Copies of this chain bind each other. A is one copy, B any other.
Amino acid sequence: MSEKKKKAVILLSGGLDSTTAAAIALDKGFGLVGLSFDYGQRNDIELVAAKKVAQSMGITEHYIVPLDFWKVFGGSSLVDKAIPVLKDRTEEEMVAKIPSTYVPGRGFIFLSIAVALAESLDIKTIITGYCGVDAAGYPDSSKSFINTFQELLSIGAVRGDRSIPWEIYTPLIKMQKSEVIQTGVSLGVDYSQTVTCYEAMERDGNVIACGRCDSCLLRKKGFEDVKISDPTLYYQVI
């Protein structure tokens, strides 16, 4: 009497949010197809994490798409190592200004390629781990962006059975980082597999995070808020 699982394409970065979103989706009974991008990100070590996460969650269909053009276009510290990643910013600073790690067009492109994959596989659901708290610096992952993108899908991606509507499922969009972590822990997520840092490095088989980029700071605060120990190893420049 097994019901056929509803399939969805999920964006997997290897970070805390997308891993939690995957755990939630699996818990809700989705069959997941993973999608990650090798786009010249300075923290491409996250792809190793994405693979580990996919494997440990039984997501056997996992596409890693190479995109070489950002290295040519530039304009972001995430793809251009000559531009520094800002450190030790306060939450006010994070909200006030688009960070140097913002990648032009990234939110547009990642979702668009998810559309291509989903439509090729006759799938109408896309899942992202976009978390509301990050949307100030990355407006292309905000709730209103997602809503408008979903409208765009109903206009522009109409091959196949039009009676099945597109859905972009964003389970974390209204959560604080602490809620994300609490939810993930309750679902048994192993956060030691995830990589959040923009400047993580690998030493002796361990991934070690800087602890000072926006991404690390938000992660650390999230774990502190819920009084759960962050399994991430951090390095200190002395």
Contact = CB atoms under 8 A, between A and B. Distances in A.
Given A69-B113, A73-B116, A145-B156, 10 more contacts: A75-B121, A104-B157, A105-B115, A105-B157, A106-B116, A107-B156, A108-B112, A139-B155, A139-B157, A145-B155
Given A119-B104, A148-B151, A68 B69 contact: no
Given A69-B116, A73-B120, A109-B116, A98 B159 contact: yes
Nearest to A122: B75
Contact of A159 (B70, B104, B142): B104
Interface residues of A, number: 44
A109 B113 contact: yes
Interface of A: 63, 65-70, 72-75, 98, 102-109, 111-113, 115-121, 139-140, 142, 144-145, 148-149, 151-152, 155-159
A149 B159 CA distance: 19
A155 B159 contact: no
Contacts of A159: 98, 102, 104
A75 B120 contact: yes
A107 to B, nearest CB: 6
B73 A117 contact: yes
Nearest to A140: B156
A180 to B, nearest CB: 22
